[in-house]
Structure 1
């Protein structure tokens, strides 16, 4: 007997997002996390445009965008010798209240309804928790540790230790489901239990972002006074003795500082306080609220993303140095890819190939993104600052200007990255047939929308001011661009709908949409990737409907039936 359909191990942002999306799809979920509740220490401070698009599908993007920094606070990225010392370079970014309108005006570079948003998971996790718990079949349990699991032919059974809380006694229970998902972080118990290794680069050394890092959450509202410059979201400091990254959490004096420990240095409270003071460069009061340690210099991806009925997502499947903010955001994209596939598998309309497509699509995406993050880490972590940059006078000014030129170049390279956010594509997926010709380049700083099979569906703002994405259904969508001479075959759509329950048919008669998709008909997946496009609802369309949910035999039959 099943207790639920999906067990999720880990209640960080990836696990909570997956729970919320499965709940929205009518899938019953039990999520277990050993922590007492959502995070109390800031981390994952950048939500990519793609993550915000996924939040939009859940109906929480506007709520998330209202959190974090004040609405008029520009989330600039700024570089200093110390915060009270010399400013070397600054990348200006729009405040959250202006971001969506800014994106509309910059649609040629950021063609998205949801530009990036700078907000810590400290604030995002409670929103995701609420989104999960609003579904009756979704249950989130904190102070609950999964200590083992066994796979049967059709089920997975987990053993869970429940810690004592104010409302329950300590106990042990078993939970049986159809599938189990490991969203339990870089030291994943689920991954280790499956014997799955991480492959790639580990322990790379750099002057910064390459070694043991101390992350300190502290309160110091006087930073804004001693800086004497417009506030920033990220303050990178390049001192003569240390480098640090200080991130504004709420715009009201709470910050998180990441500093790399020097060889032989102990991360005791005294050294932490002195290093905060050194990064600030002025004698001001501050209160340390919490600390954690982590290691930079990783670009690791699991050798496998699944085994039978168990899947890995987020940091359990890949481990990043967080330059570019790609770790958490890659994990959210994992969950968005997996959720609709789990729905199909649970509800019985998936073929045998659908489960395997998760690894086939997401492992290359993880390799891609860890490579981008590693490049960003090299670009900032190996910068050498000349000694003259710390001297007064003309020589110091010239050295600081030269360093600032490079840092301005780097800032654009790391933070103006629509290609990274929006350019993930699945052309090699077993669920699509790759189209003829070359795809657009997969570049960090350039995104060229494409409606080729496997790519993210191009976004446009419609004539009535709505986002095209808001017209898509929760399941598959057949977008009809009303191209001339393309008859609509109702019977073909009905046959496709038998393979794709809840297939939504959306007709949009706008020239820009027809131009962007370059086809009369486009089949779009629930995660907003193109499954197929063509100018007739023919056998190729029906075959694609079967292929995209993992039914290769039915696909062949659709192509050969007279």
Structure 2
């Protein structure tokens, strides 16, 4: 941070210090970019918000060197099963069970280097803040509210109110990013509309402490319990240490949120037994299916919930936002450092918006069959009739909910088709299946994962910027030409020679250029044409500007 008169200066101002703003600050700070983050709230409280950090986010956290810190901050033991149990009530009859949901088992998987982690969002934020404290170029200020924004050709000036002193101050930055949530002040100042369905389902959330509950109920251990009964269909589960649990249930349209007495009654109905517990916090929230009509205006951009909102089923919200932060972060850093062109920033919306639209559709699909849809009045009936109903409901649950808990194709199988900074090779995309991942190095997709002989991940050997994989010694002369061209253009690039036939087969090429975010930018068996042209395109100095215009002008006709 630099001082200038009564104001402050930075390369980037981030509004919002939730997981998206913090992740963006980490990505920028790791690259030597000066960052100021302002946040009007204290980010305290026990509300878990997100609870699953998925395999893609954990992969990115590993890239920053903090995956293990996230694991240690998780409230559940390492051997705790990442399972989900469906039952009539917590002290009721079991209906169905899913194992290894969201791929959270601590086991080595060929598809990714890090399993998912069950951890409340506030604990993830704490880990990110701790890491930011090690980055000298990042300044985080709480109790600071964005009031106004103005921009010109060279940057933007923000007027920020120090809530404690009630004194305004200004921040001058080359770029501003609104990572300030669904009620984004940045988006409001830019008059950018959200398109889709607003508040189509109300929900009630309570955090409660129940001593002895974790080991005192009859169900198998699980990270959450979906409780199906006519009195209070709900989802509950262990959230933090000290027998702290969450409780969530849908509110009928137009219903008034429960008062404390009603909340106790509802939690007791879901549990199926009177026990001692203390309600610590409550909240209400609504599910949305919304995407911003555009993600930027000049030097001001949006990320996370500020530009896309969707139902929580599938655990995509925070994880999508972390993906936004990495995509946008390396691109802003490249431009600030001088080796990236302006098309990089145009590509942000082109790449991320289709992913958001697809994920919103997936989350809405998951939300179409939740606990209250599963209720049958005979579920708790004694005898053969009740048993037959429970078996039938259990079968339906197993058939319909597996996609929500095993959507590896959604999490890792997305592609940045049509991006102006991807060099397409004319190959067809892999089969699109939410529950299947077909590893492919087709440009635009995530680089396929591979475990090395020493037990490390291939991704651990990638450079912080671009990586040139040389998968056949015969391609070395072509690799040298690319290296020299990158050096001439000032593009940071690490060459990684791995003469392994299996890798060359997996990547279907002898030469592969991998971006800082682990997406494949280009691949070929040999260099054809000028290496400088390839490098200029993938770093945003040339590209299909029309692709950006098309992506921004078209309306979204998805699940809205």
Choose which of 89, 94, 111 in structure 2 pairs with 1:87: 94
- 1:186 alignment counterpart: 182
Distance 2:175 2:452 in 1: 39
SS in 2 for 1:336: helix
- 1:560 alignment counterpart: none
Tell me, yes or no, if structure 1 residue 313 matches structure 2 residue 318. Answer: no
* Cα distance per residue 1:336-375 (max 9 Å; x no partner): 1001100011112222311110011111111011011111
- 2:158 alignment counterpart: 158
Distance 1:170 1:514 in 2: 61
SS in 1 for 2:203: strand
Choose which of 18, 32, 35 in structure 2 pairs with 1:12: 18
Q: How much has 1:282 moved relative to structure 2?
A: 0.7
1:199–1:303 Cα contact (<8 Å) kept: yes
1:427–1:454 Cα contact (<8 Å) kept: yes
Shift in alpha-carbon separation, 1:445–1:540, aligned structure 2, 3 A = farther
Distance 2:35 2:182 in 1: 22
Distance 1:331 1:434 in 2: 26
* Cα distance per residue 1:212-253 (max 9 Å; x no partner): 111111111333355212221111111112211113113641
- 1:114 alignment counterpart: 114
- 2:541 alignment counterpart: 551
Distance 1:474 1:92 in 2: 35
Shift in alpha-carbon separation, 1:511–1:163, aligned structure 2, 3 A = same
Choose which of 226, 242, 260 in structure 1 pairs with 2:250: 260
1:357-368 aligned within 5 A: 357-368=347-358
* Cα distance per residue 1:485-522 (max 9 Å; x no partner): 66345244211233353211111122221111111110
Distance 2:297 2:385 in 1: 61
Q: How much has 1:415 moved relative to structure 2?
A: 0.8
- 1:495 alignment counterpart: 485
* Cα distance per residue 1:140-174 (max 9 Å; x no partner): 1111111111111111111111122xxxx442110
Distance 1:305 1:233 in 2: 35
Tell me, yes or no, if structure 1 residue 293 matches structure 2 residue 284. Answer: yes
SS in 2 for 1:5: strand
SS in 2 for 1:4: strand
Q: How much has 1:384 moved relative to structure 2?
A: 3.8
Choose which of 75, 80, 89 in structure 2 pairs with 1:73: 80
TM-score relative to the length of structure 1: 0.91
1:36-435 aligned within 5 A: 36-38=42-44, 40-66=46-72, 67-93=74-100, 99-100=105-106, 102-104=107-109, 107=110, 111-164=111-164, 169-204=165-200, 211-250=201-240, 252-263=242-253, 264-296=255-287, 298-380=288-370, 383-435=373-425
- 1:208 alignment counterpart: none
1:478-493 aligned within 5 A: 478-482=468-472, 484=474, 487-493=477-483
Distance 1:277 1:253 in 2: 16
* Cα distance per residue 1:515-560 (max 9 Å; x no partner): 11111110000000000001123425432211011111899xxxxx
Q: How much has 1:464 moved relative to structure 2?
A: 1.6
- 1:475 alignment counterpart: 465
SS in 1 for 2:373: coil
Distance 1:382 1:84 in 2: 18
SS in 2 for 1:228: coil
Shift in alpha-carbon separation, 1:427–1:262, aligned structure 2, 3 A = closer
Shift in alpha-carbon separation, 1:553–1:196, aligned structure 2, 3 A = closer
Q: How much has 1:200 moved relative to structure 2?
A: 2.1
Equivalences, count: 537
Shift in alpha-carbon separation, 1:554–1:260, aligned structure 2, 3 A = closer
Distance 1:332 1:46 in 2: 12
SS in 2 for 1:487: helix
- 2:448 alignment counterpart: 458
Distance 2:199 2:142 in 1: 32
1:85–1:227 Cα contact (<8 Å) kept: no
- 2:27 alignment counterpart: 21
Distance 1:90 1:40 in 2: 28
2:51–2:118 Cα contact (<8 Å) kept: yes
Q: How much has 1:382 moved relative to structure 2?
A: 6.9
Distance 1:338 1:65 in 2: 26
Shift in alpha-carbon separation, 1:73–1:438, aligned structure 2, 3 A = same
| Larger mean Cα displacement after TM superposition, 335-344 or 225-234 | 225-234
RMSD: 2.1
- 1:537 alignment counterpart: 527
Distance 2:435 2:257 in 1: 39
Q: How much has 1:76 moved relative to structure 2?
A: 1.2
Q: How much has 1:288 moved relative to structure 2?
A: 1.0
Q: How much has 1:48 moved relative to structure 2?
A: 1.1
Q: How much has 1:19 moved relative to structure 2?
A: 0.7
2:81–2:105 Cα contact (<8 Å) kept: no
Distance 1:523 1:256 in 2: 44
1:486–1:535 Cα contact (<8 Å) kept: no
